[in-house]
Every structure is written in C-alpha cells, then in structure tokens.
Amino acid sequence: DVVMTQSPLSLPVTLGQSASISCTSSRSLEHSNGNTYLTWFHQRPGQSPRRLIYKVSNRDYGVPDRFSGSGSGTDFTLRISRVEAEDVGVYYCMQGTQWPPTFGQGTKVEIK
C-alpha cells in the first residue's frame, strides 16, 4: 500500500498567520492517465471530514481561497494563509491513484 506521511502532526498557529502542512507519499501519485489523485480533507471536532482540495490543487466550491494545494510526484503541501478560528481541526491528505486509497495520519491545527 502507498504510505502517506504528514508533517507536522501538530500545528499551533496564530490567528492571521499562515500555516503549511506537508504530505509525502511512498510512491509517485501521478496516474498513467496524467492526473494526480491527491485530496485534502478537513475534519472539525465531532464532525465528518469535508473535502477541501482535489487533484492536488483544485479547491472545492465554497472553500475560501485562503486554502491552496500544490505539489507533484510524491511531495504535496496544503497552505492556509491568514488562519481563522474556524480552521481548527485535523487535516488529512489522501491518495486515490493506487488501490487501496490511503490516508495520512492527520495534522491537528490549533490556535495558539
């Protein structure tokens, strides 16, 4: 299985500052069809995950443009600019290129 490794696992941030989460895969996530199936989710306490970003950098409808995704191959980043209180929770990356789909361990974002 493809192993997804996130860092850091805990990320205290100051309101209004930016934050970055790294996600590294054990194998390239570029599919033979040319797409890279790397997805980012956000899970608030007590809630189900919610998709933020798909195919590395495509933001979902309604997701603030403070969120951006980048990367290729095996290295990916989720960036949050101007962190707001509603951004707390756990962020997960997930790959869908290779079966079975696999998730990172999660990065817990909290406000300092």
Partner 1 sequence: EVHLVESGGGLVQPGGSLRLLCTASRFTLSESWMAWVRQTPGKGLEWVANINPDGSSVYHADSVRGRFTISRDNAKNSLSLQMNGLRVEDTSVYYCARDPDFAAIDLWGQGTKVTVSS
Q: Which residues bind partner 1 (CB under 8 A)?
A: 31, 35, 37, 39, 41, 48-51, 54-55, 60, 92, 94-97, 99-106
With residues binned 3-state (H G I as helix, E B as strand, rest as coil), the percentages for the chain, rounded to 5, are 5, 50, 45
Least separation in angstroms between CB 12 and partner 1? 21
> Would you say 66 or 103 has its CB closer to partner 1?
103
Nearer to partner 1, 77 or 98 (CB): 98
Distances (CA, A) of 9 to 15, 22, 75, 91, 100: 19, 10, 16, 9, 23
